Amino acid sequence: MAHLKRTTVIVASAMVALTACAPAGYDGANSSAAEPVAVAAAEPTASAEPEASASPDAAADDKAPPSDVQLTDELVGKKLPRMGKVVTDQDGWVLYRFDKDSADPPQSNCVDKCAQVWPPALTDGNPQLQGVSDDKVGTVTRQDGTRQITIGGWPVYRYIGDKKPGQWKGQGVGGTWFVVDPNGKKNLTCLPTGTPKAVAPPASSDSGDSGGDSGYSY
pLDDT digits (tens, 9 = 90+) for 31-51: 344 434 333 334 444 444 444
If one compares 49 and 198, the residue with the highest pLDDT of the two is 198
Where in 12-58 does DSSP place strands (E)? 52-53
- The proportion of the chain whose per-residue pLDDT surpasses 90, expressed as a percent, equals 59
Q: For the segment 45-94, what is each residue's pLDDT rounded down to a tens digit?
A: 444 444 444 444 434 344 454 555 789 999 999 999 999 999 999 999 99
User: What is the pLDDT at residue 203?
Assistant: 84
| Range of 9-18, 44-53, 149-158 with top mean pLDDT | 149-158
DSSP of 118-141: S-B-EESS--EEESS-GGGEEEEE
**pTM for the structure as a whole:** 0.71
Cis geometry, peptide bond prior to residue 66 (ω within 30 degrees of 0): no
* Share above pLDDT 70 across residues of the chain, in percent, rounded to a whole number: 62
Residue 146 has pLDDT above 50, yes or no: yes
Domain limits of the chain? 72-177
The answer to whether residue 109 scores a pLDDT higher than 90 is: yes
Phi, psi of 150 (to 5 degrees): -120, 150
Answer yes or no: is pLDDT of 191 > 50. yes
- Those residues with Cβ within 8 angstroms of residue 201's Cβ, 6 or more apart along the chain or in another chain: 113, 116, 117, 207, 209, 211, 216
Average pLDDT rounded to a whole number, residues 8-19: 45
Average pLDDT taken over every residue of the chain: 77
Predicted local confidence at residue 70, as pLDDT: 86
